[in-house]
Amino acid sequence: MALPLPKPKGLLADKGYDGDRFRENLLLRGILPIIPPRSNRKAPAHPDYQRYKDCDRIERMFGKLKQQRRIAIRYDKTLLSLESFLNLAVARLWLKSFVNAP
């Protein structure tokens, strides 16, 4: 949470992060928690499920990236090398959408 990055507007997370203290901490920082409630919560807070659908898209993208063995096993020793191959893998996935485009 203490990363030197611009402050996000919202945080997508799974049910495992559904806790009162975690939610309060996010709200105090001005970040909207988009977390579905656990099934045993007495007063469930309902998130914006339209935004929560993006979580599935993000997880599928990481699943596609991990299908490439070099990235899943992390053969690369340096951070620069890993980031370079991640960029190549993402570009390869992105270009597939343009190959058969009308």
What average pLDDT does the segment 20-35 reach?
Answer: 90
Please check whether residue 35 lies inside any domain of the structure.
Answer: no
Host H or E run for residue 93: helix 79-99
Please check whether residue 73 lies inside any domain of the structure.
Answer: yes
Please check whether residue 99 lies inside any domain of the structure.
Answer: yes
Give the separation between CA 93 and CA 96, rounded to whole angstroms.
Answer: 5
What is the band of 102 on the pLDDT scale with cuts at 50, 70, 90?
low
Instruction: Select the highest-mean-pLDDT range: 20-24, 49-53, 71-75.
Output: 20-24
Number of folded domains in the chain? 1
pLDDT at 75: 78
Please check whether residue 40 lies inside any domain of the structure.
Answer: no
Please check whether residue 82 lies inside any domain of the structure.
Answer: yes
Task: Determine the structural domain holding residue 95 and report its residue range.
Answer: 63-102
What average pLDDT does the segment 32-37 reach?
Answer: 87
SS3 at position 41: coil
pTM: 0.59
Please check whether residue 93 lies inside any domain of the structure.
Answer: yes
Give the separation between CA 98 and CA 14, rounded to whole angstroms.
Answer: 32
